[in-house]
Amino acid sequence: MPIYEYRCNGCGALCSFFIRSMSQPLDPVCQRCGSPDLRRAISRFAYHKTLQQVHEESGPPPERSSLDYYKDPRNIGRHVEESFKKWDVDVPKPIRETIDAAREGVVPEELGL
């Protein structure tokens, strides 16, 4: 039971159609503008995971998961740094400056603490 995707040549919308049977005829029309002028789109392969698989892959919950941990701006900065490092992305300069200021005890106005 595949899902076929088509791109509308008129408005550019990507439309998905669920096919219950290969023998079922498909006359797709754009779900946005109603045009029958569609071309088949190549979409990514989707692999669905069970909730148990998601939990197993994410590992144990962090030890610092209490709400008090995140009330301290220094810990928020540490968490932000870890997130950027996890994704192998450099911390942008404005965020770095905010984190450094929080470590010096300056609470960013945006936090409203």
Q: What is the pTM of this model?
A: 0.40
pLDDT at 26 over 70: yes
Q: Total structural domains in the chain?
A: 2
Q: How far apart are the first and last CA of the chain?
A: 52
Express each pLDDT in 56-102 by its tens digit.
Answer: 776 666 665 567 776 776 677 788 888 888 888 888 988 888 888 87
Q: Report pLDDT for 57.
A: 75
Same domain flag for 63 and 99: yes
Q: Are 108 and 102 in contact (CB under 8 A)?
A: yes
Q: Which domain holds residue 31?
A: 3-41
pLDDT at 35 over 90: yes
Same domain flag for 65 and 95: yes
pLDDT at 50 over 70: yes
Q: Are 91 and 84 in contact (CB under 8 A)?
A: yes
